[in-house]
Amino acid sequence: MIEIRKIDQFIQSPAWSLFQESGGFKVVRAEGYFLLSKPLWGKTTYLYAPKVVADNLDFGKLAQANQPAFIRFEPVEPSQILNDSRVIKTIDVQPAQTLILDLSLGLEKLLAGMHQKTRYNIRLAEKKGVRIFSDNSRIEAFINLLKVTTDRDQFKGHSDNYYRQLAKFNPEFIKLFLAEYQGKIIAAGLFAFSGNCATYLHGASSNQERQVMAPYLLQWEVIKAAQATGYKYYDFYGISDQKWPGVTRFKKGFGGEVVGYPGTFDYIVKPGVYRLYKLLRTLRRLI
């Protein structure tokens, strides 16, 4: 069984904190973690602590030093702080479940743990001559494919410039992999490589040439590259049978272990401000 606290979360890496700072966010460092200070209105802010071992954080000290309206945090495992009367469950920011491969098993066992159809689709893409390569300079190809993907699958992505900034920030940390077939890019993905874990961040594929199963080979080649360079885990970063049934079915075909997180919580520092925030959030969602 995978111990989730032993996995290095890219979202808690020094590289990710630098990326956030390059985008204009203030980063607060505490107990070895990186928290974002995010604006609400005027000088009112809140802190966001993604993927932390919450018992390692001193919430009272953070509140006193930064004076946020609240501290939003995502524990990777159950925590004593969740019993605090000042803590309430809120809407999840990061996915509540993910799928993780233990790369230390080796490639043969990883293949054996896949769904038979997934193994077949990987071999089919290889047979068809799909070529997988990494090149961050081809980010516009990814963006073009992503527009097709968001239209097809009915979800909202980030701005084009966000993906451009990701691709140019640090090519050792964020890598763009592409799948080429008969001279055309038909699938692509952005992946984070940090600590002991490689993470699948964003993927896109064409409506054309879907029969050659390029996304399957793309994932497998990245998994192999991560394993060959010493990464211990591969995180598909987000599954949900209800929200994303097709994507979840695709990811689960690669085997691995389903890991659940407790969710997203708010530690309330200023109750009056927090009530106003919740009211304004509700009104915004209704509008």
Question: What's the pLDDT score for residue 281?
Answer: 87
Where does the pLDDT of residue 287 fall: very low under 50, low under 70, confident under 90, or very high at 90 and above?
confident
CA atoms within 13 A on the CB side of 94: 25
Domain ranges (residues) in the chain: 4-94+261-286, 97-260
Predicted TM-score (pTM) of this structure: 0.94
> Is the pLDDT reported for residue 64 higher than 80?
yes
| Contact by Cβ (8 Å): 31, 71 | no
- Which amino acid, 141? A
Mean pLDDT of the residues in the chain? 95
The mean pLDDT of 260-269, rounded to a whole number, is 97
Q: Which comes out higher in pLDDT, residue 246 or 124?
A: 124
The mean pLDDT of 248-267, rounded to a whole number, is 96
The mean pLDDT of 2-10, rounded to a whole number, is 93
Q: Given this chain, do its domains 4-94+261-286 and 97-260 carry the same CATH topology?
A: yes
The one-character DSSP state at 96 is: S
Question: What's the pLDDT score for residue 231?
Answer: 98
Query: β-strands 233-235, 197-205: how paired?
Result: parallel
The mean pLDDT of 261-276, rounded to a whole number, is 97
Q: By mean pLDDT, which of 9-18, 82-91, 118-127, 241-250 is the weakest?
A: 241-250
- The CATH class of the 97-260 domain is alpha beta
Question: What's the pLDDT score for residue 151?
Answer: 86
What is the tens place of the pLDDT at every residue in 103-139? 999 999 999 999 999 999 999 999 999 999 999 999 9
- The CATH class of the 4-94+261-286 domain is alpha beta
Query: What ranges make up the beta strands (E) of the chain?
Result: 26-30, 33-41, 44-52, 70-75, 87-90, 97-102, 131-134, 174-181, 184-194, 197-205, 233-235, 257-260, 264-268
DSSP 116-134: HHHHHHHHHHHHHT-EEEE
Where does the pLDDT of residue 219 fall: very low under 50, low under 70, confident under 90, or very high at 90 and above?
very high
Where does the pLDDT of residue 155 fall: very low under 50, low under 70, confident under 90, or very high at 90 and above?
confident
Q: Which comes out higher in pLDDT, residue 176 or 150?
A: 176
